[in-house]
């Protein structure tokens, strides 16, 4: 069974620091990886996608993928209180497959 594992947190980070979120996945056939942000009472919204080993940067966000270790991470630089949310890691086998989500990490940015 495909599984995506995340530390549930809460992860507390001071404002302006780097927040580091991690996830591992069980299915070696997974090809696509995503990070979603979910505010309390809201729906998940996509913030990053990554398909190849290495780093991918978008503004303050950097996604990292290591397929050999089956490991995905998300770095948030210059953390802001508005970054406080639950971050969901997801994987997919590609094609028309659905996404498998982790349970999420609750991130708190302390002003």
Partner 1 sequence: DAGVIQSPRHEVTEMGQEVTLRCKPISGHNSLFWYRQTMMRGLELLIYFNNNVPIDDSGMPEDRFSAKMPNASFSTLKIQPSEPRDSAVYFCASSRQGSSANEKLFFGSGTQLSVL
Q: Is 18 near partner 1 (CB under 8 A)? A: no
d(CA 76, CA 31): 23
Among 62, 73, 100, 105, binds partner 1 (CB under 8 A): 100
Among 13, 34, 37, 107, binds partner 1 (CB under 8 A): 34
Query: Can you name the residues that pair with 48 across neighbouring β-strands?
Result: 35
d(CA 13, CA 88): 17
What residues between 42 and 81 interact with partner 1 by CB under 8 A?
42-46, 49, 51
d(CA 22, CA 68): 15
Q: Supply the minimum distance, in Å, between the C-beta of residue 39 and partner 1.
A: 12
The smaller minimum CB distance to partner 1, of residues 23 and 79, is found at 23
d(CA 36, CA 87): 6
Give the footprint of partner 1 on this chain (CB under 8 A): 31-32, 34, 42-46, 49, 51, 88, 92-104
């Amino acid at each position: 069974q495909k599984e995506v594992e995340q530390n549930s947190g809460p992860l507390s980070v001071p404002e302006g620091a780097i927040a580091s979120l991690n996830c591992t996945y069980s299915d070696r056939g997974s090809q696509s990886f995503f990070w979603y942000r979910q505010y309390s009472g809201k729906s998940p919204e996509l913030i990053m996608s990554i398909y190849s080993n290495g780093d991918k940067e978008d503004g303050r966000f950097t996604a990292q993928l290591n397929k050999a270790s089956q490991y995905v991470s998300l770095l948030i630089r210059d953390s802001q209180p508005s970054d406080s949310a639950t971050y969901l890691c997801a994987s997919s086998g590609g094609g028309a497959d659905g996404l498998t989500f982790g349970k999420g990490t609750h991130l708190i940015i302390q002003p």
